[in-house]
Structure 1
């Protein structure tokens, strides 16, 4: 799929088929995620593809929306704040920014593979870490189902570019 088509095709999907995700697709998604830039190239992330049914069930007990359980794979985006760069004079790492870039690479790669995703952050991190068996200094910052969409997505609405983009000469 051509790059701009990928951008226009990607949607947050909330209904999945149970069809398995090919391992080759998972590997290409991982490679795309590894291409993501990060501050000072620290790469303070891990991308985990969970196919194990028992672990997926535990994750779905933390985020109870049924569409997550429908997908044959759950992606976990792990961040490590102690590895991430900090802006001088600021006591907060930019792990969320670095991880966001990496996870978007993964989501776009999934779209190019004909797969669907839905970026999820609406969970209690401590509970998700415990369910997924993630130990500090790592933490789950984002989750996504990964699989084939059960239905065609509806067209999306975006603000006009005049509201979101400006050129200053």
Structure 2
């Protein structure tokens, strides 16, 4: 698992967690709203940047703004909704770092698989898996539910 997948201590690591949390929100937005022509590329480019251990905080912040803009394009009503459901909320990575070790390990494996798939410029089933991985990060699932998601993503990484 990449060394960068640890609880953040530097401003750049905190920016990475914020960016990844926004990507979860974007992925979740696509479950109820159609993607734009740019959504896949924004998502994958952001994952590729977040996977760089030395990514500067400024670049991560710029990419965060792009992701937020894309999420508002995908689900424009969510930003001004009078009764927000929370389905498109960004994920707070504090939840991941505070999760039980077994759950945290599985979710970090999912994130690592999402990084690997994004590097391959995925299409079809592999692209759908990236969305599924990000969506699932925000779910409070147990090991039994998370394990098949991890296994499927790791199989796609080997293809």
The structure that is helix-richer by fraction is 2
Q: TM-score, normalised by structure 1?
A: 0.26
Structure having the higher strand fraction is 1
TM-score with structure 2 length normalisation? 0.27
When Rg is computed on C-alpha atoms for both structures, the one with the higher figure is 1
